[in-house]
Amino acid sequence: ELLLVESGGGLVQPGGSLRISCAVSGFTVSTSYLTWVRQAPGRGLEWVSVIFSGGNTYYADSVKGRFTISRHSSRNILYLEMNSLRPEDTAIYYCARAGDGYTAYDYDYWGQGTLVTVSS
Amino acid sequence: QSALTQPPSASGSPGQSVTISCTGTSSDVGGYNYVSWYQQHPGKAPKIMIHEVTKRPSGVPDRFSGSKSGNTAFLTVSGLQAEDEADYYCSSYGGSNNVIFGGGTKLTVL
């Protein structure tokens, strides 16, 4: 069974840093296209970042230079390192996978999300 | 890049059909056949319903279909059922290896 489980969310002050994780099972992070998508409370979905199977990474303009997506192959975990956090980064952060038969921009398995709150 | 434009709400009675639009530009929706649709029930993660404009993943009822004309994509739900009541989001490849989502449409089954 394919599973993605996010963790590490919480309350952080503006300007602070946080690293959230996405532990996966049933497939390997190193051979998959994996993405982070966020959803502010009561708002729509916003694409944040993607890491390709070859290791290339790409970011939304809103987080470029502040967020870093990475993966730990042996632990089978996806990360999102978030720095210089702003109140507008407050959201549920979902990790998701682009599976076989999908492009790198279509996500067939999602985690349950982890809430990041940026507030003083 | 701006979010894709979706109507905030749509509705239909059980058994009816409803179509939700998703309007972008020639740089995203109109430029690529990489439009997806996601269904999200309250408190749940999104679920992919359509990808690459018209492709339906296994397990998604054939009542759901996708299409595109110019810079606008469409999701049609036929034979509406109570469990179809949810928020629906479109997404499109936006070039430069990024993805743009629509603002979402709340579908109500009357």
Q: What is the pLDDT of residues A26-36, one digit of tens each?
A: 999 999 999 99
Look at residue A91 and give its three-state secondary structure.
strand
Cross-chain residue pair A113–B45, CB shorter than 8 Å: yes
Cross-chain residue pair A111–B45, CB shorter than 8 Å: yes
Which chain B residue's Cα is nearest to A100? B57
Q: How confident is the model at residue B41 (pLDDT cuts 50, 70, 90)?
A: very high
Whole-number pLDDT of residue B96: 86
- From B1, B48, B89, residue closest to A44, measured CB to CB: B89
Interface test with A, best of B22, B53, B98, B101 (most A CBs within 10 A): B98
Please compute the mean of the pLDDT values over residues A81-102 and round it to a whole number. Answer: 95
d(CA B39, CA A74): 33
SS (H, E, C) B60-75: CCCCEEEEEECCEEEE
Bridge partner residues of B18 (DSSP): B77
Whole-number pLDDT of residue B2: 82
For the record, the structure tokens of A6 come out as 């996010």
Percent of residues, chain B, with pLDDT higher than 90? 95
Cross-chain residue pair A35–B3, CB shorter than 8 Å: no
* Residue B1 in this model has a pLDDT that exceeds 90: no
B4 in contact with A at a CB cutoff of 8 Å?
no
Which chain B residue's Cα is nearest to A95? B45
Q: CA of A17: how far to CAs of A9, A11, A13, A23, A62, in Å? A: 11, 10, 8, 20, 16
d(CA A8, CA A20): 5
* Residue A99 in this model has a pLDDT that exceeds 90: no
Interface test with B, best of A58, A59, A63, A106 (most B CBs within 10 A): A106
Cross-chain residue pair B3–A44, CB shorter than 8 Å: yes
* Residue A5 in this model has a pLDDT that exceeds 80: yes
One DSSP character per residue, chain B reads -PPBB--SEEEE-TT--EEEEEE--TTTTTT-S-EEEEEE-TTS--EEEEBTTTB--TTS-TTEEEEEETTEEEEEE-S--GGG-EEEEEEEE-STT-EEEB--EEEEE-
Q: How confident is the model at residue A104 (pLDDT cuts 50, 70, 90)?
A: confident
Instruction: Give the model confidence (pLDDT) of A7-28 as tens digits.
Output: 999 999 999 999 999 999 999 9
CA distance B55 to chain A (A): 10
Instruction: Give the model confidence (pLDDT) of A56-83 as tens digits.
Output: 999 999 999 999 999 999 999 999 999 9
